[in-house]
Structure 1
Amino acid sequence: MRSIRHALLTGVRRLSAAAAAGAVLITAPATGANADDCDQACQIDWAWTAQRQNALPRTAFYDAPDPLPWAPSGTLIRTETTSDYVVEDKPIEAVRVLYHSRTSRGRDVAASGVVLVPQDRPRPVGGWKVVVDAHGASGIAAGCAPSLMRDLYHGNQMVRFLEQGYAVVAPDYAGLGTTGRPELLNKTAAAEDIAGAVRSARQAVSGLSGEWVLWGHSQGGGAALSFAERQLTRPVPGYRGVVVTSPAADLPTLAAHVATTVPYGGFAPLLAQGAAYSDQVIDVGRLLTPVTVARMDGARNGCLGVTTTVYGDLTGPALIQPGYSSDPHFTRYLRDNSVGQKRVAGPVLFLQGGADTVTPESVNAKVAAELRSTGSQVTYRVYDGLEHDSYGAATGIDDGAMADILAWVGARFAGR
C-alpha cells in the first residue's frame, strides 16, 4: 500500500506518498495550473496523464493461450526481450516472462513478470545471485503491472541490486498484465506468483544462481511473509531469507485505518474490489457507499495514482458503509489473509519507518513481536523519520534503509 499527497512544485506535479512508487513527473498543462488553482478535477486529469505517460503498450505477449493448457506452477509459457524501460534516465534491458501460476483456489492461471541482470559486468562463477522483488500495491487494472510501466514502478530501487551484481526477478502478480481478476492481498495467490516467478526465471534466463533472497514492500511485504510461511511446507530450492519493509500484514487493522484517515481513502475500494475478485460472495455494494461505487472506474481502470486522487476527498461514512467493518465475508477475507501469526522460513529482516502513516509502526511492532513468538528468526528495526515511500522532502523506508538492506542481502549470500 502506498500513501498519497499532492505537491505542485514549479509547474511540475508529483503524485506521492500512496502513489509515490508509481508516480512520474509530468509538466504542468498549458493552462498554467498550479497549487492554487488545480482543483480535484484538475488533479484527477493530471493523474491520468501521469499514468498514460508512464505506460507501455500492452501487447499480445501478455495474452495466454485460451484455453490455457494445464502445466505445473512455474512452467514458462513464453519470453520476450525488451529495452523499453528507462530508469534514472538510462535504458534498462529486461526479459519479460509469462508463466503458469495458481489462483487461491488452485486454478491454473497465467502470470507475468520481468527478469533483470547486470549489463555492465560479466556473469560471475556460479551465476548471478537473485533478488526476487515482491512489489507494493500498484492498482487492480491489467495495466498496473510494473512490467507495463516505463519506470518499472520502482526501478530506481531495483537498480541498486543490479549495481551489487545481483539479478532481479519481479513478478507482476496474476491479473496484472495478464487477463483475469487480481486477488489483491490474497496471501495464497501471491505466494504462488512468487514461487512461479522464481522457477520460470531460471528457465527463461541462463546464468542465474540457484541462490535467492526475497524482498517485499507494503503489499509485497505481506506477500513475502506469506511465501515464507509456504516455504516451510513447499520449499523452493535456494531460498536464503526475506526482507520485508513496512509490510501490509494486519489487514483488519490496516483496512480500518486507511478508510478513516485522509488521504488514504482510495485503498478502501481497492481492498473491497480485490477481495470481491477473489471471493465472489463479497459484494462491494455492501461495503462502499453509493458515492464511492459511482467512482469505481478510478479503481478498476486507474492505477494507484489515479485511484488515490479520485477518492482523495472521501473518508469515513462518506466512503464506506457499516458492512465494511461487519460483513462476515469481507472480515473473514481480511483475517484469513493477514500474515505474521505463523512461523516462517527465515531469517527475516523486518524494517519499519517510524514516520510511516500508511502502515504505522504501532501496528507492525505488534506483527513483528507476534512473528517472533512463533519461533521465527526475526530482526526488527525501526527507522525514525522514514515514511512509507519517498515523496517531496520525505524519505521512504526502502530508500532510507537501502544500505542496510544491501548489507543484509550480501551477508545472506555469503552464508553469514
Structure 2
Amino acid sequence: MIASSARSLLAASLAAVLFAPSALADSCAAPASVGPDGLDFYKPPSTLPDGEHGSLIWYRPYDDGSAAIAGGTNTLLLYTQVGIHGDTVATSGYMIVPDGDAPAGGWPVVTWAHGTTGIADPCAPTINDPASDDASRVLLTGWVSKGYAVVRTDYEGLGTPGDHPYLIGPSEARAVLDVVRAARQYDPRLGSRVVIAGHSQGGHAALWAASMAAGYTPELDVLATIAFAPANSLENEVSLLGIIGNTTAVSGTVALIVRGISVANASFDATSLLTPDALAHYPDTLTECSVYLDSNLSFGSVAANDILVAGASITDISAQLKDNDPKYLTTIPMPVLVLQGTSDATVFSFTTDAMVKNLLASGIDIVEQVYPGETHQGVLSAGYANATAYLDGAFNTLRNGEWVPSN
C-alpha cells in the first residue's frame, strides 16, 4: 500500500505533468518553463526557441505587479517576435484569463496595446505600470468581467534587451500579435477569435497590427480593431513645433519620437538636429520614463520651439514618420472604431479626423466616435460604453453561417 502522503505527492506530480501549460502547448513548440523571479525574468536565455515567432520562452504567475487585473488569473510571459531589424528578439507581456470555464470555441481574446510610457526598460508596464494608466485598467477589468481574455504586450525593447523602437509601426504590430500566439501556447483555452485594441501609442500599434495580422498571424481570426486617440500625422506635428511655441506639453514625446527613429535607423543622427538644451536631456530618453521626461527636470523645461535647431532639415524625420503613420495604411480588412476627445492636447482631434477620412478613402471600414471636451486620458472613460458595445458586437457576429456568441 502507498502511504496517504505518498499518494498525495504522486497525484500532485501527475497533475503537474498532465496539466502544466507547457504540456498543453502546441506540439510543434518547444515546452516552455517557469521563468526566474524579479527582473531576471526579462533576460532571455542565450538561445531563443527555434519555432515560429510568438513562441513562448517562459512564464510565471503575475500577482505582484501593479498592472495586474482583477477577476482572472494573471500570467507574465516572455515570448519571441520578429524585431525591428528582422532578427528574432524576446518581448515581455502578460495575460489575464477570466475565472470560470471557457466557452465553446475558447475564450475570446482582446490584445491590448498600451499608451506611451517611455523607452527605458523600467518603463515596461509589467515592471512599472504608471498611475496615469488607471483608466485602461478599469476598462480592461470590465472586459475581463464580461468574459474576455486579455493579453498585453510591453513592446519590443521595453524591459527586454535592446532599445524600444517607439512608434515604429511594424515592431509594435508584431509585439501585439505575437503575444496572442504565446498566450495561446501557454493556455489552449484561448480561442482564435481576436479583437485588437489600444490607446495613444497603443492606438497607433492597434491599427498597424490590424493591417499586418492576416499575413503575420494568419491563424488568428481578427474580428475588429478599437483605437482610442491613436497617434497619427506625427510628421505634420513635428513640422509645427515652431508654431506651437513655448509650450512644453509635447516636448518629452517629441524627444521619444526622435529617439525611436534613431533606434530603427542607426544612420539617423539626431544630435545634429537638437538644440543644446534638448541635447542635454536627450540621454534621459534611454534611462527615464515619460513622467520624468515631461517634468521640469527633463524635457518639461524645454519649449516645443526650442527642441530643434533653427533651420534644421526635418526631411529625414518626416519621411520616417510618414512611413510609420497609420494615416497612410491601405489595407485593414476588419472594421475599425476610433474614439477621440476634442480637448486632446497630445493627439489632436483634427489630425485624427483627417486620418479617418484618409482611411475611409482607401476603402477601410472605419467609424469615428468623437467626445466633446474630453482629454487624451479622459477618452478612455468617456468611450468605455461605446468601445464595449463595439467589442460585444464584434464577438457576437455571424461567422461561417453560424451565430457565434462572446460567452
Contact 2:166 2:260 in 1 (8 A): yes
Cα distance change, pair 186–227 in 1 and its aligned pair in 2 (3 A): same
Specify the SS of the correspondent of 1:412. helix
Q: Which amino acid aligns with 1:81?
A: P
Residue among 43, 49, 64 paired with 2:44? 64
TM-fit CA distance, 1:91: 9.2
Residue among 301, 310, 332 paired with 1:313? 301
Higher gyration radius (CA):
2
> What pairs with 1:133-282 in structure 2 (closer than 5 Å)?
133-149=112-128, 153=133, 154-234=136-216, 235-256=218-239, 260=244, 261-282=247-268
Q: Partner residue of 1:414?
A: 396
Q: Are 2:270 and 1:284 equivalent residues in the alignment? A: yes
Aligned residues: CA RMSD: 2.3
Q: Are 2:318 and 1:335 equivalent residues in the alignment? A: no
Cα distance change, pair 294–93 in 1 and its aligned pair in 2 (3 A): farther
In 2: Cα distance, 1:236 partner to 1:258 partner: 43
Deviations 1:229-249 (A, max 9, x none): 213544342211100111112
Q: Partner residue of 2:60?
A: 80
Q: Which structure shows the bigger proportion of residues in helix conformation?
A: 2
TM-fit CA distance, 1:93: 4.5
TM-fit CA distance, 1:158: 1.8
TM-fit CA distance, 1:112: 0.8
Q: Partner residue of 1:28?
A: none
Q: Partner residue of 1:108?
A: 88
Contact 2:123 2:129 in 1 (8 A): no
Q: Which amino acid aligns with 2:347?
A: T
Residue among 382, 387, 397 paired with 1:405? 387
In 2: Cα distance, 1:332 partner to 1:384 partner: 32
In 2: Cα distance, 1:323 partner to 1:70 partner: 49
Q: Partner residue of 2:108?
A: 129
TM-fit CA distance, 1:85: 3.0
TM-score between both structures, scaled by the size of structure 2: 0.81
Q: Partner residue of 2:404?
A: none
Residue among 343, 354, 359 paired with 1:366? 354
In 1: Cα distance, 2:331 partner to 2:67 partner: 37
Specify the SS of the correspondent of 1:266. helix
Q: Which amino acid aligns with 1:122?
A: D
TM-fit CA distance, 1:323: 6.8
In 1: Cα distance, 2:129 partner to 2:318 partner: 36
In 2: Cα distance, 1:90 partner to 1:231 partner: 29
TM-fit CA distance, 1:128: 1.8
Cα distance change, pair 306–104 in 1 and its aligned pair in 2 (3 A): same
Cα distance change, pair 122–77 in 1 and its aligned pair in 2 (3 A): same
Specify the SS of the correspondent of 1:126. coil
In 2: Cα distance, 1:306 partner to 1:70 partner: 39
Cα distance change, pair 73–231 in 1 and its aligned pair in 2 (3 A): same
Contact 1:221 1:249 in 2 (8 A): no
TM-fit CA distance, 1:316: 3.3
Instruction: Name which of structure 1's ranges 337-346 and 87-96 shifts more when overlaid on structure 2.
Output: 87-96
In 1: Cα distance, 2:367 partner to 2:55 partner: 34
Q: Partner residue of 2:405?
A: none
Cα distance change, pair 352–317 in 1 and its aligned pair in 2 (3 A): closer
Q: Which amino acid aligns with 2:323?
A: D
Cα distance change, pair 236–88 in 1 and its aligned pair in 2 (3 A): closer
Contact 1:231 1:345 in 2 (8 A): no
TM-fit CA distance, 1:258: 6.4
Deviations 1:256-291 (A, max 9, x none): 456744322111211111111111111121222121
TM-score between both structures, scaled by the size of structure 1: 0.79
Structure 1 spans left out of the alignment, 5+ residues: 1-56, 390-395
Specify the SS of the correspondent of 1:295. helix
Structure 2 spans left out of the alignment, 5+ residues: 1-36, 399-407
Higher relative contact order (CA 8 A, sep 6+): 1
Specify the SS of the correspondent of 2:320. helix
Specify the SS of the correspondent of 1:296. helix
Q: Which amino acid aligns with 1:386?
A: E
Q: Which amino acid aligns with 2:204?
A: G
Deviations 1:96-139 (A, max 9, x none): 111110123311111110001223x4333332211110111110
Cα distance change, pair 90–151 in 1 and its aligned pair in 2 (3 A): farther
In 2: Cα distance, 1:181 partner to 1:89 partner: 27
Cα distance change, pair 193–86 in 1 and its aligned pair in 2 (3 A): closer
Contact 1:78 1:97 in 2 (8 A): yes
Deviations 1:167-216 (A, max 9, x none): 11001101001111111111111111112111111011232122110101
TM-fit CA distance, 1:87: 6.6
In 2: Cα distance, 1:361 partner to 1:150 partner: 26
In 1: Cα distance, 2:395 partner to 2:49 partner: 37
Specify the SS of the correspondent of 1:117. strand
